[in-house]
Structure 1
């Protein structure tokens, strides 16, 4: 299972390089089911892996002129606030066992995986939709952009997911960015959010296996480089719905596994 996990880690970066997002949504299942990492700790590890991969991807887009720094900051600053509230204040207060129904206990780990599976299903539906006809606002609405940033921070803080499937449509619609700039700016936002969230976890004493994290991040980075090269030959937009179906099946599997197996 561990070797399968290393292979699956390539997909994290591959999808980022090929379709501009979606890879981070696979990080938690890979860590939990293939590397047997505790779900709560996996949210911290995911922040590091996603943030590191997004950093390299964002730098590639920076060289291509696809980063809008002002928009990224307006989005990221509210996100950082909600991330810190969730991870440093609310998350540690959630009991290991939240409640019990008859003899069935609903644990903190179970809640994380169920909510994450719902997020995967939502992301999958978003990937399968055609956003090419999205009607954009003529002017950037920084107030709405900041509000969505705050909401994305809640998702990132609780689940350790980058939230690119939420960020990119928000940048397209509310910031009126072209698609390439939306992808590049999204990676910068993901890097900022993930880095702040992970730093907060280190501050409160979360145990970290850096050797393992650097290894997985390196594999994901290699996958991203491969994805960037393949994107020059393959239309990532056409592959997005296919990847969406894959994520949907995984999301349904996680719900079934956690509740019934």
Structure 2
């Protein structure tokens, strides 16, 4: 199967995940770029940031039109992660490929387990505690910078469990956080972006953007809990494969 077809197929799946769940795109993008398209772990994390930044920004506009974005909470959460995302991005360039891959697999597994045990939808949105938002946002930013993930698969549980947002608000708001964190992490990788294989990254990103629109429609029709559980099981399988590959 050609690289173009693989890139289009993977991009569509990742866009669906971002549009429907408000996260999860980059945690699938990185292994897809490594195992299907032959990218190195460092190049894959950079390419994933480009793809996810474009896709999440597109999906954000659709969720914002539906009134599912809490701008104040999202910007506070995202702002706290900008510095850690940039520092993490600088650190990633000095980590061995195996260590980066194992760390990615570990974070993906933790996220999958967390998603299988969802915090549940809040009955009413609680008042936002700035300290909690800043701490959670900083931790998420660091993960984004080091591992090249937008962090939505961690942001959604945090926005629900820590900040008390309803699930649909958390999905929409996480896209704002992902966009800001991804762009911040790319800020320190801008010199390497031109070395990416854009004949692969371009179609990948385009398919992901289109998939994100379908993902938003899917989220409005399917139960959020069901989507989350299916995605978590797939994520757990990917994490196991990546960890075994990193240590063997």
Same fold, judged at TM 0.5 (above): yes
After the TM superposition, which residues 42-121 of structure 1 pair with which residues of structure 2 at under 5 Å, given as runs?
Answer: 42-88=44-90, 90-92=91-93, 94=94, 108-121=96-109
Q: Which residue of 1 aligns with 2:115?
A: 127
- Alpha carbons of 1:205 and 1:234: their partners in 2 closer, same or farther (altered >3 Å)? closer
1:225 maps onto 2:227 in alignment: no
Distance 1:158 1:41 in 2: 12
How many residues were matched structurally?
246
Distance 2:9 2:193 in 1: 30
Q: Which residue of 2 aligns with 1:12?
A: 14
2:230 corresponds, among 242, 248, 254, to 242
Q: Deviations over 1:167-203 (max 9, x none)?
A: 1222223333222221111101100110121132115
Q: Which residue of 2 aligns with 1:185?
A: 173
1:150 maps onto 2:101 in alignment: no
Could you tell which deviates more after superposition, 211-220 or 31-40? 211-220
Query: Greater CA radius of gyration, 1 or 2?
Result: 1
Q: TM-score, normalised by structure 1?
A: 0.86
Q: Deviations over 1:106-157 (max 9, x none)?
A: xx11111111111111111122113226698843111121011111111000
- Alpha carbons of 1:201 and 1:160: their partners in 2 closer, same or farther (altered >3 Å)? same
Q: Which residue of 2 aligns with 1:105?
A: none
Q: TM-score, normalised by structure 2?
A: 0.90
**Residue pair 1:136, 1:173 contacting (<8 A) in 2 also:** no
1:26 maps onto 2:34 in alignment: no
Could you tell which deviates more after superposition, 164-173 or 21-30? 164-173
**Residue pair 2:42, 2:92 contacting (<8 A) in 1 also:** no
Gap regions ≥5 residues in structure 1: 96-107
Gap regions ≥5 residues in structure 2: none
Distance 2:101 2:239 in 1: 9
Distance 1:133 1:64 in 2: 18
